[in-house]
Structure 1
Amino acid sequence: MTEPLGPDEERFRALADSAPVLIWMSDISMGGIYFNRAWLDFTGRPAEREAGEGWRESLHPEDLAPLEAAQAAFAVRQPFQVQFRLRRHDGIWRWMLNSGKPRFDPAGGFAGYTGSCVDITERFEAEEDARRQLRVMRTITDNAVEGMFLMDARGRVSFVNPAAERMFDWKSDELFGEILHDKLHYKRVDGSPFSIRECPLGRVFTNGETLNEHEDIFYRRDGTPVHVQCSIAPIRSNGRVDGAVLVVHDITYRKQAEEALRLSEDLFSAIFRQAIVGITEIDLTGRFLMINDRFCEIVGRPREEVLALRTQDITHADDVPNNMAMLERARATGEDYQLEKRYLHPDGTVVWVHNSVSVVRNSDGRPLHLVAVVRDITEQKRVEAEMMRANQDLQSALTEREVLVKEVHHRVKNNLQVVVSLLRLQASRLRDEVGSDALRESLNRVSAMSTIHELLYRSTTMADIDFAEVLRTLTANLHDAYGHNEDRVAMIVETDPVPVSMDAAVPLALIANELISNAFKHGFPDDAEGSVRVGLVRDGDTVVLTVSDTGPGFVPPKRSSSLGLMLVDRLVRQVSGELEMEPPPGTRYRLKFTLE
């Protein structure tokens, strides 16, 4: 009340006590001087306790700030309105809207304030709940991954959340008041204009139609297309559409993944259909789930028939146990496997196949089904069988040839032994020393050739012979032939294993025979003592044969007067070798040749 009070204060108090609101009066120092019946009933306190500063005891301790605002207004004699909590007589805090106006006496002097308190608890709590809901909604919209827009009845933007800003590269204040369709949905994929009248989202404004999970293409600020899935719903007021809420989810990556998957499926389908090998998908019991045309050709059955069968139903009976064991192992362990087996055509024709089987697993790693690549190897099996028969025939022929060649070598060796015996017998009858020596030399040469055939007869291969064994046998035979005692003339043979062909073995043996014979024959005159050393060293394809003795040295006669040396020269040329005679002491020959 801004008018001065009349003299009848009792009448005012009677009216105030009958009012349903809390009424109070203060003096010029803000001390309480009057509280109506409604106030006293509310606080449950007598007027004496409320007077002066007593009323503040019912004020919530956290609400002193509003009281300070009232004090500021009091100081300048201005009306005020503040909210605070006041404790009710039952101890419950209630929100009050406290309004106060300055009061003046008839002379115009400031007399204090008169005011009222209205219980606004329900309204305050409703407003606080609305504010809380608004904070929750703000938190949701600010942190949502979906773009959100609010529009008025004309499609103009009134709200944009941060996700929508990021999604389309527009700031919210740039879109406020703009028609959203004209910014994000203004053209078709081919670039032609797209009006809001044609847009299915626009129907929300014309007939209030809700559209859910609609897939479309919006455009970013720079014109880049964005694949979206969106839902739009009307906001109604008094039965009218006052606006709409649009929720947009960016599905560009999903669309790209779907396109990649589609291309992959198309590629797989093309490979599956046109593969030159059979491809099947079977469950863990062996039942066919999917097959390609090539597999139908392999098993000679139509698709419908095969899809009604299991793999074991068309497998040769002898191959079923192994087939099922491999299938069971794949089911138990998830291991891939390969096997060869036979399928049966309806007419009983056998088809050999090679199966490469892979296990397809679910997200937990457990086997779901099997995929097999089936290759027809019937022709390969036929060729292998023919090759096996041919190999068996060839092996038989080689065995017969080997037996025959061994028999030839054996007979040649025997015949040469007969010749040796005849020469030895003839030599024993000669009294001429020169003739006897000539026969002995011929005997040794024939014996060397006989040694070759003897070793070839005993050899496990017909292609070559170990020349080291030839040298050991030949040296021992010549040592005995010249009647040398081991204590007087020692023989030392140091050889590497050197396989030589049969064509090279005979000339090499004859060369070695001549060189070793000369060592035994001329190296130790007058029963001299010493040794004969025979060496054979291989370095890659190069071989060096050395024959030496520890005698006084040997001066070879002219080639034309020595049959043995002439024979050696020709044989060295035959094996494409190089023969050197090293200087004394002793006699040392060195033959170098190459293995072919």
Structure 2
Amino acid sequence: LHNDKGEFIGRRGSNRDITQRRKAEDTLRLSEARFRALILNSSDIIRVLDHDGRITYESPSAERILGYPEGSLLGNVPWEHVHPDDLERVKHEFATVSAGTNTGIPTEFRVRKNDGTYLWVEAVGVNLLGVPGVDGFVITTRPIQQRKEAEQALHESEERLRLALEGAEIASWDWDLLTGNAVFSDNFYTMLDHKPGEFPATYDAWAALMHPDDRERVLLDLQRQIAEKRPLCEIEYRLLSNDGNWIWILGRGKISQTDAQGKATRLTGVNIDITNRRLMESEIRSLNTVLEQRVKDRTEALSRANEALEEENAQRVTAEKKLQASVDEKSMLLKEIHHRVKNNLQIIASLLNLQSRYIKDEPTLAAIRESQNRVKAMALVHEKLYRAEDISHISLEDYIKFLGTGLFQFYDARARGIQFRLDIHDVNVDINSAIPLGLIINELISNSLKYAFPEGRKGEIGITVKKEGHTLTVVFQDTGIGIPAGLDWKNTPSLGLRLVNTLVDQMNGTIELDRENGTKFVMVMHEKA
């Protein structure tokens, strides 16, 4: 206070209670801090747009979700980053927010992230124009990418299931047991030659289409299976098709919902058209009846035939025994013949041996010894056959080996340094071929041992025999001095070579001579019939 002179004389004041105001200010600060914390830590993007739709505020979560640096989008309109396919719809929804007609219904669309990829989001807008502190449009956006991917996967799964059911001609249904209402798939109708939705999807409509002979059985069986809480209910029955035919159905369902007491309230399942299967089963039953009768008739016929066959078998067994006895008898007789022929030939050889003791003339003595070797060669065939289990064939390897060994001993060839080599494997011939082959080999070995290896010359005699079918290829080769080039070996006065040519001709064969590196005869002959 001041006096008239303007001098300070004192002070005067008043006090006002502002407790409530301070409390209100504290509450406001606390509310603002709480709101700021919620905004800063929200998983949603919160934006404020001005009257022109430009961003004036954007919560920090925008950078975390979309990847744009904080504050970089201020002043932009948000639909600059909306997917082109969603843009018109988003603009339309924003217009409804501007007009105040949007009641908070969320909008789903794709927004481009900073890395160029698109993210599915869900946005809700509120018009707060004129509201102090905001004065704009508040848009709350949250990512729903995982949900959209799950929805897409579910849609694709449902589509695959639908296509699979259609491809397999399987109809699906869902039945509310309390109301009797149902949901039938399109296949449910087309299976009965109806257009989808052509008759009501209800229990009563389904029961009305059922064959009268099946209805009572099916309904009772269905009630029983539901009451027993079967894991899977299965019933076969007939439904009337739109073309007037009866379609056999296999219905399979399971309880998909129960009440608090565990009583079934919903049944879900499929219908499968088994008409063709039932027709096939009926045809099979008819065929089985015919088949059983035919089997019965055939069994009776076979029984009669078996009786006749048993009698015939008994007669055949008796005949076979007689035949075997005859074969055994003839085999023994044939062996005895071979034995006697062998003995007779050995007697002839012995007689020739005795005769040679009284002959002093060397050419005559040599001729007798050669004849003796020929007789022994023939006797050896009969001896081999006599001792063999199979008297119809003789092993050529054993025969020639035995024959050659005897001749080598006769001419003392081992001591002279001459070797004997055979290359014959699994070659068997009958007596008609064995005797001429034995005589041919006998003559060629004898001829080589007499003339091919003069005093002191060593070497080898080799015999190779191959058989293909009924054709025999015999290669005789020695490493001796060879047949003189000027000698006409096919017309030689030598009995041995003339005999070889004659025997080869008898076997419808050919013989060739190779004079290089000793003597080599190649003979191709055919087994005698």
TM-score normalised to the size of structure 2? 0.50
Higher relative contact order by CA 8 Å / sep ≥ 6: 1 or 2? 2
User: How high is the TM-score relative to the length of structure 1?
Assistant: 0.45
